[in-house]
Amino acid sequence: MDISVPHNTSSSGLKRHKWLWILLFFAGMALIYWYFFTEKPVYLERHTVMIEHVKKGHLTIQIDAFGTLASAQQQIITSASAGVVKDINYKLGSTIEPGATIVRLENVDLALEYKRIKQRLTEAQAELLQLNLRQQREVLVERSMISDLEGQLATLSFRHQAQKKLAKQGIISELSFFETQAQVESLSGQISHAKTRITQLQQLHQSALTVMKKRVTLTEQELVAVQTKIDQLDVSASEHGVLESLPLELGERIVAGAHVATIGDRRALVAQLQVSQSQVGPVKVGQTVKVFVGQEVLPGEVIRIDPVVINHSVNVEVSLPEVGDLDLRPKQSVTASIITDTIENTHYMRTPPAGADVQDLFLYRVDNTGQTELLPVQLGRQSGQYSEIKSGLKAGDAVVISDLREYAKSKQVVVIH
């Protein structure tokens, strides 16, 4: 007799549940892998990023700089005399006219020296007058003596003539005649010696007068020199200009030759630009410069490049045209662009922050739907805010230039919406 054995339905049910759990396990693992290991797009709002379009054309290579205006011609004023600052009549930036007194000094020692020299001059002039009178009196005494001798000689000459006839007639002795003749010759010799003596005396007087006059002249010159120093205590400008520096304070004591003020000419200005030492290499004398002063753009030309680096910058001096009616002043701040070269028919765009210090970088190109593509881009020469594109982009491409280096490093998908 056949005995029917029932099928084990529970065993088949367990098998179906086993495969179901296996499927659920793999589905969970796939979900976990997708969630943790699959890159998900990063969504950025359009207004939070900067998008630049690539252009094609000529790119002017220029170096941006900043600086101040300075006078092309400056007048340095120094003190001719030592003194104490008593008055300061102008402030920095004031317009100075020729002859205007900028600073007034005081020096009591000069005033005392002037009085002392003036007293010496008065004494020397009095001595000169006394010497002249004394010499005139001595000459008069000598001339009076000569006149007396000449009178005696005239009397003896008449006697000599009379005795000569009487001696020939024998009326008087020849001895008396010869005595009179000897007296005449003696007086003639005395007169001759007296005249020689008065000539020598006059020469001696003239020499003494010359010495005394030189002493008076020298004292007068000393007095004039001291008076000039006193006059120069009022420090004045010789030319028209603007007061650029005045390193003095009231009551300050200064020595002769000290710097009092610097006056600059507003009509002739130059721009003193500070260029980074890393960018100054292409700058050459003669290059064109655009100098921005407020709303004005002035054409300039590089005329000098300082060979010394100060605070990581190099001073570049730029000549400017006649300013005319523009209200420009020394020390006024300016910005400028030094044009070093022009690249024809090239691609360029605004320099991304990441490209300020490197040339090879990755940038996101974005299309009209907001989808992006990460591209390797090689930048070339930089010009102010713009950079040349050597490869990686073409004209019209829209590129995200915001700093997305963290996303680019992991090749993250970015969507702009």
Predicted confidence (pLDDT) at residue 3 exceeds the cutoff of 50 = no
Q: Confirm if 302 and 283 have CB atoms less than 8 A apart.
A: yes
- 0.85 cut: is pTM over it? no
Give tens-digit pLDDT for 170-204: 666 666 766 777 777 777 778 788 788 888 888 88
Give tens-digit pLDDT for 40-50: 788 888 888 99
- pLDDT at 12 (0 to 100): 53
Give tens-digit pLDDT for 327-343: 787 888 999 999 999 99
**3 state DSSP class of 224:** helix
Angstrom CA distances, 353 to 169, 361, 371, 385, stand at: 147, 11, 22, 10
Pick from 27-36, 158-167, 243-252, 315-324: least confident: 27-36
- pLDDT at 68 (0 to 100): 92
DSSP class of residue 371?
B
Give tens-digit pLDDT for 291-314: 998 888 999 999 999 999 999 999
**3 state DSSP class of 305:** strand
**3 state DSSP class of 410:** coil
CA distance 168 to 159: 14
Residue positions counted in the chain: 417
- The CB density around residue 158, as the number of other CB atoms within 10 Å, is 10
CA distance 363 to 407: 10
Tokens of 342: 């022009």
**Mean pLDDT to the nearest integer, 98-113:** 88
Pick from 21-35, 38-52, 67-81: least confident: 21-35
Structural domains present in the chain:
46-69+265-416 (2.40.30.170), 79-105+233-264 (2.40.50.100), 109-231 (1.10.287)
**Mean pLDDT to the nearest integer, 245-249:** 85
On the 0-12 / 13-18 / 19+ scale of CB atoms within 10 A, 21 is exposed
Q: Amino acid identity, residue 235?
A: V
Predicted confidence (pLDDT) at residue 410 exceeds the cutoff of 70 = yes
Q: Which residues contact 102 (CB under 8 A, 6 or more apart)?
A: 77, 88, 89, 90, 96, 235, 236, 237, 243, 246, 260, 261
Predicted confidence (pLDDT) at residue 347 exceeds the cutoff of 80 = yes
Predicted confidence (pLDDT) at residue 1 exceeds the cutoff of 60 = no
Predicted confidence (pLDDT) at residue 252 exceeds the cutoff of 90 = no
Q: Which residues contact 415 (CB under 8 A, 6 or more apart)?
A: 41, 42, 43, 44, 370, 371, 372
CA distance 400 to 53: 9
Mean pLDDT of the chain: 83
**3 state DSSP class of 238:** coil
Half-sphere exposure (Cβ direction) of 121: Cα atoms closer than 13 Å: 15
Tokens of 142: 């000598």
- Comparing 267 with 405, the larger pLDDT belongs to 405
Question: Which of 32-36, 107-111, 325-329 reaches the highest mean pLDDT?
Answer: 107-111
CA 163 from centroid of its chain's CA atoms: 101
Predicted confidence (pLDDT) at residue 5 exceeds the cutoff of 50 = no
Pick from 118-122, 144-148, 267-271: least confident: 144-148
In the chain, pLDDT over 90 holds for what percent of residues? 29
Q: Confirm if 388 and 337 have CB atoms less than 8 A apart.
A: no
Predicted confidence (pLDDT) at residue 246 exceeds the cutoff of 80 = yes
